[in-house]
Amino acid sequence: MQQKIIIAIDGYSSCGKSTLAKQLAKELHYIYADSGAMYRAITLYFLRNAIQLSNHNQIKKALNNIHLSFEFDADAGKSHIFLNDENVELLIREMIINEKVSDVSAIKEIREFAVMQQQIIGKNKGVVMDGRDIGTTVFPQAELKIFMIADIAVRVERRFKELFLKNPEITIEEVKRNLEMRDYIDSNREISPLRKAADAIVLDNTNLTMAQQLKLALQWVNEKNLPGKKNN
């Protein structure tokens, strides 16, 4: 029987991090903890309650009133995030959340709050988590770290197709600007910037199908569980 490990998946927006994480969780019967959904849910709460990102007292009080949890939806075959017992899985995918989430997630108190929740989830291992600082900040001890990349044109096309279904008015230029802005903010923020962990494996899926990238990642998981191989 294979020993359960922690799998940390990082990378830029629209590189397919969550897709791979969900695939691996399903294949390995692991917990999928969507860190991006956690930050999006916090962003939704802040927008609803007009929390000023420059007001640290407001932020602290708001975080004390936020409870996040994941529940598995058997019919959908995936986990949904709940904000204070409300299913907000669809609401957090709106464009307004896309535009604000990087600013919200760059704030120290918010990241510390989210990281603490994430580390609690990972204590028993058997967890797949994706985000931007999972292998560097949340689970620096993860046995397998994957850093995903893809060409910008491919990423823009992927995000456009996703958002167009919900907002037919959106343009591909808007999507490109949004992705470039998020890349800059994520890579240059002071707290836990997006960067590849020294021991992470790069997965460029520009020209890979979902099946191909899953097969490759599963090979890496199996290598971590080879007989006589110690997991850190």
**Confidence (pLDDT) at 51:** 97
**Confidence (pLDDT) at 121:** 80
Give Cα 75 to chain centroid, integer Å: 23
**Confidence (pLDDT) at 132:** 87
Of the two residues 201 and 133, the one the predictor is more confident about is: 201
Residue 29 has pLDDT above 80, yes or no: yes
Give percent of the chain with pLDDT exceeding 70: 95
In angstroms, what CA-CA distances link 196 with 26, 146, 161?
A: 25, 9, 27
**Confidence (pLDDT) at 135:** 95
Half-sphere exposure of 229 (CA within 13 A, CB side): 14
pLDDT average, residue stretch 22-43: 90
Token look-up 């017992």 returns 85
pTM for the whole thing?
0.75
190-219 pLDDT, tens per residue? 877 889 999 999 999 999 999 999 999 999
Residue pair 145/135 in contact by the 8 Å Cβ criterion: yes
By residue count, the chain amounts to: 232
Least confident piece of the model among 37-41, 58-62, 183-187: 183-187
Residue type, 170: I
Tokens of 225: 């569980």
**Confidence (pLDDT) at 104:** 95
In angstroms, what CA-CA distances link 167 with 15, 41, 96, 180, 229?
A: 21, 20, 12, 20, 49
How open is the CA angle 102-107-113, to the nearest 5 degrees? 105
77-93 pLDDT, tens per residue? 677 899 999 999 999 99
Half-sphere exposure of 61 (CA within 13 A, CB side): 9
43-70 pLDDT, tens per residue? 999 999 999 999 999 999 999 999 988 8
Residue 231 has pLDDT above 70, yes or no: no
**Confidence (pLDDT) at 228:** 47
pLDDT average, residue stretch 21-39: 89
Choose among 5, 28, 37, 15: nearest CA to 202: 15
How open is the CA angle 37-223-216, to the nearest 5 degrees? 55
94-121 pLDDT, tens per residue? 999 999 998 999 899 998 999 888 898 8
Q: How far apart are CA 8 and CA 2, in angstroms?
A: 18
Domains and CATH numbers, the chain: 6-221 (3.40.50.300)
